[in-house]
Amino acid sequence: MSEKKELTCIGCPMGCQMEVTMENGVIRSISGATCKKGEIYAAKEVVDPRRIITSIIPVDGGIYAMAPVKTATDIPKDAIRRCMECLKTIRVGAPVSIGQVIVADLGGTGVALIATRDIPKR
Amino acid sequence: MIEKNLVIIGGGPAGLAAAVAAVDEGERDILILERDAVLGGILNQCIHNGFGLHTFKEELTGPEYSARYVRQVEERKIEAKLDTMVIDLSKERVVTAINETDGLIQIQAKAVILAMGCRERPRGALNIPGARPAGIFSAGTAQRFVNIEGYMPGREIVILGSGDIGLIMARRLTLEGAKVRMVCEIMPYSGGLKRNIVQCLDDYGIPLRLSHTVTKIHGKDRVEGVSVAAVDENRLPIPGTEEFVPCDTLLLSVGLIPENELSRKAGVAISQKTQGAVVDESLETSVPGIFAAGNVLHVHDLVDHVSTEAELAGKNAVRFIRGLDKGPAVVMVETGFGVRYTVPSTIHPAAATSITTIRFRTDNVYKDAYLTVLLDGERVQHLKKRILTPGEMEEVLIPAKWLLTRPGLQKITIRVDKE
């Protein structure tokens, strides 16, 4: 079965509009890219789009109400919603230190959630 | 009066990098003055990733990037006064500041580095008709509310301006459960990075309406909606294209302005184009011994560039304290076709380092154009560029030998050529 996917390259300000033709999950052709970098980006983006997610969680007893957090590595794009739902259930007590693992496996992705800032006790 | 060799005004990315570089150049007598309760500046609220690819060769969030510089400042035991507001700066380099523990203090500095950053253009600068209801925020204010205080500014949101902070906030607010109806951009192109348009808007199906603006804000106590209209090539709303978009919140991401009130008090010459100081190759302003770096000098897209620029200011402030003479010869940097401004705007050939970086922005989008450098009219560089856009800062590198092998050189011209 043949399928076409459209995407915009993020490699540079050109922002080439690219079209990837897939057949049974295999890339058949990439059109619209004006450089090799764009083709490499498109090939990865259509097969396995991933993003690092950054957000905040509430801190009890810290000098700030919220601690910034991120996923330790990128996670599949379609897991973002699920992970954001998980995040809403997480609280942490001060002190929080930068790099601290808050959750070892966020939303079944196998990826840890880590703090990105020191939040000392109030 | 306190005496200090180097006073740095502002403890954000520029101030921190300048301080670290000054110590590494051999200066020990340094004081950082920061108005917030912590160092790090605006990076503390920029919790998204994408910082540090140039400086650290890895992708960090804003707080992580600033923490690395704060650690370097602490390792070097650089003195910093927090919760301290600088209220005056004289051309004799007397810094007047206030805080709760010291009261009013005056510091005579041998050199000063301006690192105050920039602020957001407010609603008042746009003249959008309407009452003054709650629910209108600058994008950066909303960012602080959400990321540091943990408050949502609203539920249904329209963003005016497609600068990077606006794009980043579109994603943040969406992830936190708000509905971002659209981002309106008066220009036919976005000032934001392509990566942000794709990953902050396209990923979440948020429409970007180019050549559109907000013509009216509805609501008296709280925003109830905005009128959005298409604009013509002169950026004037086209009658009949107006559409009512219901929302409870309007975010403004309509440009940043260097914060130069103190610089003006010291008599520092300000560029009409950048709204920052006019500087030479050492990033020294028109007032001897006062240097500037980072967003107070010109607004940057990447903090990595702020750090390298501020390191240069730090090193050169130390050279000034030691009495380095730049020599009498001065070369002007001229903006030719397509170039809106350059930093620096003059170069002393005798003081120039092996490579002088000239940073600039173009005045429009140019595709398949050439970046040309002329020395007194002689073409020395003609580089093909697939795209030049005002949203991305460009640079040309001037080797010292170009300057030193041409005694009597008057001007360097940077321009965009179609062929």
Handedness of CA B55, B60, B61, B66 (dihedral sign): negative
The CATH number covering residue B250 comes to: 3.50.50.60
Handedness of CA B43, B250, B130, B125 (dihedral sign): positive
Residues B359 and B299 in one domain: no
Asked whether the beta carbons of A54 and A84 are under 8 A apart, the reply is: no
Judged by CB atoms closer than 8 Å, whether chains meet at A56 and B64 is answered as no
Name the residue among B58, B46, B29 with its Cα closest to residue A72. B58
Judged by CB atoms closer than 8 Å, whether chains meet at B146 and A56 is answered as yes
Residues B314 and B269 in one domain: yes
Judged by CB atoms closer than 8 Å, whether chains meet at A52 and B202 is answered as no
Domain boundary among B254, B274, B306: B254
Residues from chain A contacting residue B47 (CB–CB below 8 Å): 54-56, 68, 70, 116-117
Asked whether the beta carbons of B315 and B305 are under 8 A apart, the reply is: no
Residues B191 and B247 in one domain: yes
Burial A56-79 (b: 16+ CB within 10 A, else e): bbebeebebebbbbbbbebbeeeb
Domain boundary among B324, B355, B382: B324
pLDDT for the residue numbered B269: 98
The number of domains in chain B is 3
Going from N- to C-terminal start, the domains of chain A cover 2-47, 54-115
The ipTM assigned to this model is: 0.90
What's the CA gap between B292 and B284, in Å, rounded? 7
Q: Strand, coil or helix: what is A32? A: coil
Nearest neighbour of B198 by CB, restricted to A8, A70, A117 = A8
pLDDT for the residue numbered A59: 97
Judged by CB atoms closer than 8 Å, whether chains meet at A12 and B194 is answered as yes
Residues B106 and B21 in one domain: yes
Edge to edge, what strands does the sheet with B156-160 contain?
B136-138, B249-252, B156-160, B179-185, B208-210
Residues B343 and B390 in one domain: yes
Name the residue among B77, B42, B6 with its Cα closest to residue B313. B6
pLDDT for the residue numbered B184: 98
Residues B317 and B236 in one domain: no
Residues B43 and B78 in one domain: yes
Nearest neighbour of A13 by CB, restricted to B47, B48, B194 = B194
Instruction: Give the pLDDT of chain B (419 residues) as one tens digit per residue.
Output: 999 999 999 999 999 999 999 999 999 999 999 999 999 999 999 999 989 988 998 889 999 999 999 999 999 999 999 999 999 999 999 999 999 999 999 999 999 999 999 999 999 888 898 899 999 999 999 999 999 999 999 999 999 999 899 999 999 999 999 999 999 999 998 888 888 999 999 999 999 999 999 999 999 999 999 999 999 999 999 999 999 999 999 999 999 999 999 999 999 999 999 999 999 999 999 999 999 999 999 999 899 999 999 999 999 999 999 999 999 889 999 999 999 999 999 999 999 888 999 999 999 999 999 999 999 999 999 999 989 988 889 999 999 999 999 999 999 999 999 98
Judged by CB atoms closer than 8 Å, whether chains meet at A12 and B202 is answered as no
**CATH class of the region A54-115:** alpha beta
Nearest neighbour of B149 by CB, restricted to A65, A116, A117 = A65
pLDDT for the residue numbered B190: 87
Judged by CB atoms closer than 8 Å, whether chains meet at B63 and A77 is answered as no
Q: Please list, in sequence order, all residues whose beta carbon lies within 8 angstroms of the beta carbon of residue A15, skipping any fewer than 6 positions away.
A: A8, A9, B194, B197
Tokens of A102: 């808050």
Nearest neighbour of B47 by CB, restricted to A11, A12, A68 = A68
pLDDT for the residue numbered B194: 85
Mutate: best of A10, A90, A102, A111, partner B, most B CBs <10 A = A10
Q: Mean pLDDT per 10-residue run, chain A (122 residues)?
A: 86 86 90 90 91 96 95 94 94 97 95 97 92
Residues B19 and B113 in one domain: yes
Judged by CB atoms closer than 8 Å, whether chains meet at B194 and A98 is answered as no
What's the CA gap between A68 and A7, in Å, rounded? 30
Tokens of A84: 């954001």
The CA-atom distances, in angstroms, between B74 and each of A89, B8, B14, B23, B69 are 35, 15, 16, 12, 9
Where are the strands (E) in chain A, listed by range?
2-8, 17-23, 26-31, 50-51, 54-60, 66-71, 75-76, 92-93, 101-103, 113-115
Domain boundary among B309, B324, B339: B324
What's the CA gap between A60 and A92, in Å, rounded? 6
For residue B291, the cross-strand partners are B113, B284
Residues B213 and B287 in one domain: no
The CA-atom distances, in angstroms, between B312 and each of B19, B25, B176, B307, B403 are 11, 11, 40, 9, 19
> What one-character-per-residue DSSP string does B372-391 give?
EEEETTEEEEEEEEEEE-TT
CATH code of the domain occupying A2-47: 2.20.25
Mutate: best of B36, B39, B45, B48, partner A, most A CBs <10 A = B48
The CA-atom distances, in angstroms, between B244 and each of A63, B170, B216, B217 are 42, 20, 9, 10
The CATH number covering residue B403 comes to: 2.60.40
pLDDT for the residue numbered B392: 86
Domain limits at B302?
1-120+256-324
Dump pLDDT digits (tens) for A23-52.
Answer: 988 899 999 988 888 899 999 999 899 999
